[in-house]
Copies of this chain bind each other. A is one copy, B any other.
């Protein structure tokens, strides 16, 4: 409670704010950024929302998205308060890090277990399903009006981070917050339309191509899929793909390998019920949550695949031996 009060005290007294979120932004990142940004703007503050990359096309329908500025377009502006939303570390905000670091005070609002407490004030709630849930609580406690636009952003944040209320992180509080946001005017059908009915033909073809790479290990408990550089040329949205591997009966760990232009392989992990993939990702210098984590590994695609699958098998064997 004290942390919230510290933040609210600051929000009442300071006038200039810069807000940002993590690179490769998802719905929780953009939704939380826009919700808090709009709330500050609505209450007469000088608030600038920045991002290291353009807002992903799939989230440009969100109210206020057009107000997010690219870091590179920013002049030599100074801000009293810098706010990082949904960022485990300052560097996760990409180029925005430099701007934030020049602020007098940094507020860190995040729900990831691997958060590095990099702010002067750290509101880190690992039991929250989405940073959007925390922002909603903050706004309500602070007496900010949750307008329909703000509600649409926060509702999108919760929907995307809970996989439409399917993931393990779904709690009674997610539901109560969503009920409240619908009553505040969150536009359910607009959100559903933009999140789930705006798929490009290319992305559907991409899905088919990626599904065709699906493999299972010998005991059927690890399933993985691979996106090679060639595939990415056609399309680059791999969000949700890993869930197809996870949906298989008997699978405990699902892994998605993505070959980046940089020569790195981005590895995403999901687990169903007992393997802590945060640990698995940490072994390769990454992190995340118990059931969803990721890392990046330099190397050749095939070699990285083998390395990671071998390590996953070790973890699985260890966990099963311990039971």
- Report which A residues bind B (CB closer than 8 A): 159, 164-168, 170-173, 175-176, 178-180, 182-183, 188-189, 192-193, 196-201, 204, 207-208, 211-212, 214, 216, 244, 246-249, 251, 272-273
- Within the complex, what minimum Cβ distance (angstroms) separates A286 from chain B? 24
Report B-chain residues with C-beta under 8 Å of the C-beta of A216.
Answer: 201
Contact partner, A179, options B172, B247, B272, Cβ 8 Å: B172
Give complex CA distance A166, B190 in Å.
11
State whether A182 touches B175 (Cβ < 8 A).
yes
Report B-chain residues with C-beta under 8 Å of the C-beta of A172.
Answer: 178-180, 182-183
- Within the complex, what minimum Cβ distance (angstroms) separates A74 from chain B? 33
Query: Which chain B residue shows the least CB distance to A212?
Result: B208
- Within the complex, what minimum Cβ distance (angstroms) separates A132 from chain B? 15
State whether A249 touches B208 (Cβ < 8 A).
no
Give complex CA distance A247, B196 in Å.
6
Report B-chain residues with C-beta under 8 Å of the C-beta of A273.
Answer: 189, 193
State whether B201 touches A248 (Cβ < 8 A).
yes
- Within the complex, what minimum Cβ distance (angstroms) separates A177 from chain B? 8
Report B-chain residues with C-beta under 8 Å of the C-beta of A251.
Answer: 197
- Within the complex, what minimum Cβ distance (angstroms) separates A162 from chain B? 9
State whether A182 touches B189 (Cβ < 8 A).
no
Question: What 9 new A-B contacts, CB under 8 Å, besides A172-B179, A176-B176, A176-B179?
Answer: A164-B165, A166-B196, A172-B183, A173-B179, A175-B178, A197-B248, A199-B247, A199-B248, A208-B211
Oligomer: number of copies: 2
Report B-chain residues with C-beta under 8 Å of the C-beta of A199.
Answer: 247-249
State whether A197 touches B246 (Cβ < 8 A).
yes
State whether A182 touches B178 (Cβ < 8 A).
no
Report B-chain residues with C-beta under 8 Å of the C-beta of A192.
Answer: 166-168
State whether A197 touches B165 (Cβ < 8 A).
no
Report B-chain residues with C-beta under 8 Å of the C-beta of A196.
Answer: 166, 247
- Within the complex, what minimum Cβ distance (angstroms) separates A184 from chain B? 10
Report B-chain residues with C-beta under 8 Å of the C-beta of A166.
Answer: 164, 192, 196
Contact partner, A208, options B179, B200, B208, Cβ 8 Å: B208
State whether B179 touches A175 (Cβ < 8 A).
yes
Question: Given A176-B176, A183-B172, A197 and B272 touching (CB < 8 A)?
Answer: yes
- Within the complex, what minimum Cβ distance (angstroms) separates A273 from chain B? 7
Report B-chain residues with C-beta under 8 Å of the C-beta of A175.
Answer: 175-176, 178-179, 182
- Within the complex, what minimum Cβ distance (angstroms) separates A222 from chain B? 13
- Within the complex, what minimum Cβ distance (angstroms) separates A164 from chain B? 5
Report B-chain residues with C-beta under 8 Å of the C-beta of A165.
Answer: 159, 164-165, 178
